[in-house]
Chain A
Amino acid sequence: MGGSGQARFVRLGETGRARIAVTVDGESIEALEGDSLLVAILTARGRLRRSEFGPEARSGFCLMAACQDCWVWTADGHRLRACDTPVRAGLSLVTEQPDMSWPIPV
């Protein structure tokens, strides 16, 4: 899917780490081992998600697990906080909450 724009974050170093692939909204992106999910996504795209309460794109805010603005989901509905979850090879993420069915997974 498009609409995610130019990468938001700029890598300033530590680029010699191993490259790993993750999938975000069906699109494959390249991350580096040791990246947080937030960094993996924002070095590839301009936003992390959309606000549920306004028109604007969101890209996280505090990066220290306090604001909860950076939730993303695994394809099977597990919620992850992107700023303090390390990236893993093969992870498949969606940036919109998947439809819920009971029982709600954790």
Chain B
Amino acid sequence: MADPRIVIVGAGPAGIRAAGALVAAGLRPILLDEGQRDGGQIYRRQPEGFTRTPEQLYGTEAARAVALHESFERLKPQIAYHPRHLVWNVADGVVHTISEGKPGQFAYDALIIAAGATDRLLPVKGWQHAGVYSLGGAQIALKAQACAIGRRVVFLGTGPLLQLVALQYHKAGAGVVALLDTSPFRRQVMALPKLAARPGMLVKGLRLVGGLMASGMAIHRGVTPVEIHGEAEAGVTGVSVRLASGRIRRFDCDAVGLGYHLRPEAQLADLARCAFTFDPKTRQYWPEIDAEGRSSVPGVYLAGDGVRTQGADGAEISGALAACAVLADLGRAVPEAERAALRARARIMERFREGIAEAYPWPAHLAADLPDEAILCRCEGITVGEVREAATGKGADEVNRAKALTRVGMGRCQGRYCGHAGAEIVAAASGVPLEAVGRLRGQAPVKPLAISAGESQP
């Protein structure tokens, strides 16, 4: 019998660990990745010729990052690795790719999607100005290119990345004006029992907070964003927030790192027809999975932050577990002791993930409270008011209907950065629960392709 064709999408922590487990079982998976180099976003590798040490790049996670990169170098000859391959569709057991203008197809018996996450965004009035970046983008500028996004940077939003990037900027010598967190401090205290599921990570988190306190940057928790000030040509000039005390305060700056934790890149799972379920705690739809990452569709497995935002360590575990599930379902030998240990660790990662979600909650009310003139879709300049009008005046109480009427979710980012806030706005305006307004359906291509890509032949 021929070896099964196993395709993995994504060469981050989850995809690499999945590939490693399959190679250990004597298989040769195909690993498709959009990036220039392996590592994904969190363990992103700097380009050839850069000289910073892993400690400078990855801080406390340097050893894990190096271990993952070294594992990958050992795996490389034993897998079919295709970097710079965008997977733009999954249909009928075939993954469709494009690489430097050339289309490709990979048929699979088993598919592990480890597509990662992007920043979860919530608009602030003025967020369309030049100089506003996602937190992940601010981190990539530093990690991959040794640049700061500006001379005087404000970090705004919530989540672990907010604090991490602020401290990384400070340590790298960038000018950090303020860290403005929408989550009140008491939320972090209340989440401690769950965060204690990973004592080592909790200690790292506390040290991170200690480092921020010692840095001298202004830190305010429990803030309400009011406006990102800016000028059409010059870009960002400042940020105003309402502090927990009720006072409005403006911070002058020339750059903003903005983000509210992460959202899974689940479009490929959607195109593969995986069932989704609503998570009331994080207020989003995500794909259904079992304890080992099986989706609702036989032969399709989901791992890493692209399905549950557990972070890099959780991604490594879920990738290895998904590989175990593939082996078991193909009737191959499974390393049972390791599988049991992985499942136990996965439960710890999930408890910690819940703790993080409670400590840094998605501030849904901020979306509902946005002024009408604020831009919701930064791709096409569509305002919050236009979407409210569609919801209340035209009966668009479902997000795909609102998209059809207003184009929100149809622009260049295809709803990645406006989708969650747009759903909150439609729900609040039409008085329908968030769950009932639904989610933007995944559409192929999951990213814009050049027009002739579908026509030419490989």
Contacts and interface: CB of A to CB of B under 8 A. Distances in A.
Contacts of A13: 52, 146, 172
A61 B159 CA distance: 18
Interface string B359-372: 00000000000000
B145 A46 contact: no
Interface in B409-458: 412-413, 416-417, 447-448, 450-453
B447 A65 contact: yes
Nearest to A58: B130
B51 interface: yes
Given A57-B235, A68-B412, A106-B453, A63 B447 contact: no
Given A53-B381, A69-B379, A106-B451, A3 B233 contact: yes
B14 interface: no
A39 interface: yes
Given A3-B233, A16-B51, A54 B134 contact: no
B230 interface: yes
Interface size class of A (residues with CB under 8 A): 35 or more
B147 to A, nearest CB: 4
A88 interface: no
Contacts of A34: 46-50, 145
Interface in A72-98: 79, 83-84, 86
Contacts of B134: 61-64, 67
Nearest to B169: A12
B49 A66 contact: no
B35 A104 contact: no
A56 B142 contact: no
Interface of A: 3, 5, 8-18, 33-36, 39, 42-43, 46-48, 51, 53-69, 71, 79, 83-84, 86, 103-104, 106
Contacts of B172: 12-13
B234 interface: yes
A56 B453 CA distance: 31
B448 A5 contact: no
Contacts of A84: 34-36
Given A36-B144, A51-B128, A67-B417, 20 more contacts: A8-B254, A10-B174, A11-B146, A12-B172, A13-B172, A14-B50, A34-B48, A42-B147, A47-B233, A57-B234, A57-B235, A58-B130, A60-B133, A62-B119, A62-B134, A63-B134, A66-B416, A67-B416, A68-B448, A103-B452
> Chain B interface mostly helix, strand, loop or mixed?
loop
B52 A14 contact: yes
Interface in B303-327: none
Contacts of B101: 106
B150 interface: yes
B174 A12 contact: yes
B128 A63 contact: no
Contacts of A36: 144-145
B41 interface: yes
Contacts of B387: none
A67 B121 CA distance: 12
Contact of B147 (A11, A16, A17, A48): A11
Contact of B235 (A47, A62, A106): A47
B173 interface: yes
Nearest to B142: A12
25 contacts: A8-B131, A9-B141, A9-B147, A9-B149, A10-B151, A12-B148, A12-B172, A18-B49, A34-B49, A43-B147, A51-B381, A54-B128, A54-B375, A61-B133, A61-B134, A63-B136, A66-B447, A67-B416, A67-B417, A69-B412, A83-B137, A86-B36, A103-B452, A104-B451, A104-B452
B378 interface: yes
A12 B139 CA distance: 13
A8 B448 CA distance: 27
Interface string B252-267: 0011000000000100
A61 to B, nearest CB: 6
Contacts of B380: 53
A79 B130 CA distance: 21
B140 interface: yes
Given A9-B141, A62-B137, A56 B129 contact: yes
